Amino acid sequence: MGHRYEEFDSIRGIASLSVLFHHCLIVVPIFYAAHLHQQNSDMLVNVFSNSPLHVVWAGHEAVILFFVLSGFVLSLPILNGKPLQYKSYLIKRFCRIYLPYIFVMVLSYTFYMIYKNFNLIDNFSESTSIWFNTMWSENPDFKSIISIILMLGYGTHNLNTVTWSLIHEMRISIFFPFIILFVNKKNPLKFFMIAISVLFSIWLLFMFVSNLGISEVVSYLFYSIGYTFYYSIFFVFGGMLARYRSKLSNVFYKAKIEMKIFAILLFIFGYTIEWNTTFGSYLKYSEFLNLKLLVNFLIDFTIAFSVCLLFIIVLGSGLFKSILKRQELLYLGKISFSLYLIHPISLMMLIHLFKETLNLEFLILISALLSIIFAHFLYKYIEIPTITLGKKLSKSSEKKKVA
């Protein structure tokens, strides 16, 4: 009933590391250009970008993995027959996501003000990319502060670029348990098709409204909420995988070695589909909105499918399980959320402080190493206490309900 898939913790840790690598690389203008599929003459950058090697710094792909994994993990208790204590569940999710989110936002703002007062921030450096230069680029106004508190999504890149995904994670957590109740019915595959179609249609509708130009606020809210429905699709992927995990992993376990190798290669190719084909390269940023939305969905759908395939491979392979249960990987999994949250702040702190005196590549390397150290302390002193608080508050809520 309470089985924990520790190997998936390690996968989460490796994925967080790939997000760290992704952000470290796109600080450099030439890698940011490669990220946007812009042509450049550097052969090494092109090979490292437009091939399956991109798996090393597949940041966007890792976020899709996080969403699928969240859907998988959140579905397990319900699929295993545990009664849903909704209030208790929401309290734990709030403490798990919102409190660390607010902490890193306040932390980032604090360092921004310190660096600003000492004139350490240069937002016009040619040595760093536009992506990096637009972080800590302005003092958050009242609208941004309200947006951050209410998790509306506006102004996240300025203070902490990764927190956009937490906003969708928190929103989806509110209604996702009710979706999973349908996954556990007699015909879950039918529900899967209906759920994907409905969520996809709502997303397209919200994207259409957001582009009508009604007002900046209305456009942004429809855009942001629309993408919450969009990313819900990948939570549903995780829920379906949880529903059929035993059957699918057993199929892989019994498969011939040739099929297992093919499945692994298929995962790598599908996970990096955007970088293996001109399909992703030339159409993802199309000027035609409908085409751009469709291509992005097809890419993300392929990534989500590949993530599910990865989970099946791991569940059906004793070798991969043993590798992923190594203590160092399990610990990386434990601090993965903290690593995800803290590394943009580490990058900004170190680069702004020393970029006039030290080599940029050296600063990025040191920042990556420091991010892991910072993540250890964030996990120990913020993440664990907030998880513990969530458990205490949820138990207190359940006791009051019984009384």
Over residues 24-61, the pLDDT tens digits come to 999 999 999 999 998 888 999 999 999 999 999 999 99
pTM higher than 0.85, yes or no?
A: yes
Give residue-wise pLDDT tens across range 311-325: 999 999 999 999 999
Cα–Cα distance measured from residue 4 to residue 18, given in angstroms and rounded to the nearest whole number: 23
Give residue-wise pLDDT tens across range 211-265: 998 888 889 999 999 999 999 999 999 999 999 999 999 999 999 999 999 999 9
Grade residue 279 by pLDDT with cuts at 50, 70 and 90: low
Question: What per-residue confidence (pLDDT) applies to 39?
Answer: 83
314 vs 145, 175, 211, 319, 398, CA distance in Å? 42, 29, 42, 8, 36
Strands (E), 41-154: none
Region of residue 282 (left: phi > 0; alpha: psi -120 to 50; beta: else): alpha
Q: What is the DSSP letter of 53?
A: G
Give residue-wise pLDDT tens across range 84-131: 899 999 999 999 999 999 999 999 999 999 999 999 998 888 999 999
Question: What per-residue confidence (pLDDT) applies to 261?
Answer: 97
Q: Name the strand (E) or helix (H) holding 101.
A: helix 99-117
Grade residue 1 by pLDDT with cuts at 50, 70 and 90: very low
Cα–Cα distance measured from residue 274 to residue 289, given in angstroms and rounded to the nearest whole number: 18
Grade residue 280 by pLDDT with cuts at 50, 70 and 90: low
Tokens for 36, please give them: 């946007």
Question: What per-residue confidence (pLDDT) applies to 83?
Answer: 84
Question: What per-residue confidence (pLDDT) applies to 382?
Answer: 98
pLDDT for 400 beyond 70: no
Tokens for 155, please give them: 């102004």
Question: What per-residue confidence (pLDDT) applies to 401?
Answer: 64
Question: What per-residue confidence (pLDDT) applies to 40?
Answer: 83
pLDDT for 10 beyond 50: yes
Phi, psi of 98 (to 5 degrees): -70, -45
Output the CA angle 396-106-160, nearest 5 degrees.
110
Longest dimension (CA), the chain: 70
Closest CA to 14 of 69, 74, 56: 56
Question: What per-residue confidence (pLDDT) applies to 403?
Answer: 53
Question: What per-residue confidence (pLDDT) applies to 4?
Answer: 83
Grade residue 70 by pLDDT with cuts at 50, 70 and 90: very high
Question: What per-residue confidence (pLDDT) applies to 2?
Answer: 53
Give residue-wise pLDDT tens across range 144-190: 999 999 999 998 999 999 999 999 999 999 999 888 877 777 788 88
Question: What per-residue confidence (pLDDT) applies to 82?
Answer: 85
